[in-house]
Amino acid sequence: MEANGYDGLLRELGVDLTLHRDLVRYNRDIHRRTFGSVRNRPASMRWFDDAVEASHGGRVAEIAAYRKAGGRSIGTFCIYVPEEIALAAGVLPIPLCGGTNWSVDYADRMFPRDICPLIRSTFGMAFSNTCPYKKLHDGVVGETTCDAKKKAWDLLGFQVMEVPQKKGDLDHALWLSEVRQFLKYVEGLSGVAVTPERLRECIILANRRRATLQRINGFRRLPEPPISGLDALLVSQVALNQDIPAFLAACEELIHELERRVQRGISAYQGPGPRVLLAGTPSPMGNAKVHYALESSGLRVVADESCTGIRYYRDLVDESAEDLDGMIEAIADRYMSIDCSCFSPNTERVEHVLRMIKEYGAEGVVHNILSFCHTYNVESKVIDRALAAVHVPSLKIVTDYSFEDLEQLKVRVESFGELLCARSAETVAAS
């Protein structure tokens, strides 16, 4: 029996079909449990559900066909890899699959157990021969962000971009030279020289994807958001895997539906609930546990301060440069503005969190930290100091992808929700 109609292709790609079926079943269950728990979803979310399913079938076939026609693709692990340059060279950047708990233990073959689940999940997929993209990549591009990732690239011999750890002039110069080298690398893979015309088109295309995500997430600022935090996460998760024009078309439909919902006063939430900003590590496709724990406990996740949230779409590349050099500089500048916790100091992130609290009307912050992610874990203390100064409470969740601690998490989340409700009642009483 074919799991999803793509067994022939998956077999050709060296995928272990028995394990892959098990993985797909596992992922479907988690998807149903988390996103399926949202009541009264916009009908156009259906496309995004299907896109998750397609990431193990139809999308794989599309990329295989693209390569057969002479195109190239690379695996990426981080939003520092400049997607517009890769696209301009005819190289599709595809994020490695790293959100499923199913594959975590398969990483033990090469990695210690005490590193973050995102890394273990990704490489567990590769080592168990269940990642359909493994053989579709003409290269994998890593980056020097956290220690666990840096050393993983060493072990596996990937191409690495050096992301500086500070943001001074020398760091900017280093990063610009890395971006230029990346351009040479992708040109070498595809044999296609990047022209200013093509790069401009790709800058505009990638900017449209970010601007579209900004529009969708803008709805979450409303007192009654027409889209839940879970569904907004799903849109972001799908964004990086799917064909950009198809993704943009689906988003337009969703935006129209959200506008209609706002006009009719339809909220994504059944009853009142405190608004929280979720800050920290990414939740890649397959993982929505913390969003689920919060929203199924009556809280509203109204903003995501993460790489599967605003960190990916906050800044656009300046489109005014006229020549190739100017465009590359504009791209380097935009990527250097990303506020990942691997930077020291990372004051921009603190400022961004404070600004987001106001923009999205958040009453509290929940730090979402993947186990063993030291940079985000320690940085939560820096953010907490700034939050204390403006009297915004926070809750820190350090967890992995498994659902074993869900009930425990929900108990903590519910009492945080009660605290936020009590504070808001006090504010109302005092006014």
Q: Is 153 in the site for ligand BJ8 (CB under 6 A)?
A: no
Contact partners, residue 48, CB within 8 Å, separation at least 6? 231, 234, 235, 238, 250, 254
Supply 301's token pair. Answer: 């996740």
CB of 292 to ligand BJ8, least distance (A): 19
Strand partners, 42: none
Cβ closer to ligand BJ8: 185 or 376? Answer: 376
Please tell me whether the peptide bond between 345 and the residue prior to it is cis, using omega within 30 degrees of 0: yes
Contact criterion met (CB below 8 Å) for 87 and 93:
yes
Least distance CB 304 / ligand BJ8 (angstroms)? 12
| Residues 279-298 interacting with ligand BJ8 (rule: CB under 6 A) | 281-282
Contact of 51 with 131, CB cutoff 8 Å: no
Nearer to ligand BJ8, 149 or 314 (CB): 149
Minimum Å gap between C-beta 122 and ligand BJ8 is 9
Which residue, 116 or 176, has its beta carbon nearer to ligand BJ8? 116
Q: Taking the alpha carbons of 211, 149, 287, 59 in that order, is the dihedral positive or negative?
A: positive
Q: Are 274 and 300 in contact (CB under 8 A)?
A: yes
Taking the complex as a whole, the smallest distance from the CB of residue 120 to ligand BJ8 amounts, in Å, to 9
Encoding tokens for residue 162? 């050096």
Among 329, 333, 328, CA closest to 195: 328
User: CB 192 → ligand BJ8: shortest distance, Å?
Assistant: 26
Least separation in angstroms between residue 141's CB and ligand BJ8 is 12
Supply the minimum distance, in Å, between the C-beta of residue 382 and ligand BJ8. Answer: 15
Q: Is 94 in the site for ligand BJ8 (CB under 6 A)?
A: no
The nearest distance, CB 166 to ligand BJ8, in angstroms, is 15
Site string for ligand BJ8, 386-405 (x = CB under 6 A): --------------------
The site string for ligand BJ8 over 33-72 (x = CB under 6 A, - otherwise) reads: ----------------------------------------
Q: Determine which residue in the list 24, 38, 78, 161 makes contact with ligand BJ8, applying CB under 6 A.
A: 78
Mark residues 103-122: x for contact with ligand BJ8 by CB under 6 A, - for none.
-------------x-xx---
85 makes contact with ligand BJ8 (CB under 6 A): no
The answer to whether 88 touches 107, Cβ cutoff 8 Å, is: no
Query: Considering beta carbons, is residue 155 or 411 the nearer one to ligand BJ8?
Result: 155
Nearest to 212 by CA among 241, 255, 263, 243: 255
| Token pair belonging to 384 | 């907490």
Number of chain residues interacting with ligand BJ8 (CB under 6 A)? 20
Among 101, 103, 145, 267, binds ligand BJ8 (CB under 6 A): 145
Residue 154: CB atoms within 10 A of its CB come to 11
Q: Report the residue number, 269 or 372, with the smaller CB distance to ligand BJ8.
A: 372
Residue 413 contacts ligand BJ8 per CB under 6 A: no
- Closest to ligand BJ8 by CB, 111 or 219: 111
Q: Which C-beta is closer to ligand BJ8: that of 229 or that of 280? A: 280
* 407, 376 Cβ separation under 8 angstroms: no
Nearest CA to 331 out of 186, 221, 120 is that of: 186
How far apart are the C-alpha atoms of 96 and 125, rounded to whole Å? 9
Q: Specify the residue, 74 or 118, whose C-beta has the smaller distance to ligand BJ8.
A: 118
380 is a contact residue toward ligand BJ8 (CB under 6 A): no
What's the full length of the chain, in residues?
431
**Coil, strand or helix: which one is 385?**
helix
- Residue environment code for 294-303, b if the CB has 16+ CB neighbours within 10 A, otherwise e: bbbbbbbbbb
Angle at CA of residue 90, ends 89 and 94, nearest 5°: 110
Task: Please state, as a whole number, how many other Cβ atoms lie within 10 Å of the Cβ of residue 422.
Answer: 11
Q: Is 332 in the site for ligand BJ8 (CB under 6 A)?
A: no
Amino acid in the structure at residue 118? L
Residue 340 touches ligand BJ8, criterion: CB under 6 A: yes
**Residues in the site for ligand BJ8, rule: CB under 6 A?**
78-80, 116, 118-119, 145-146, 148-149, 281-282, 307, 338, 340, 342, 370, 373, 375-376
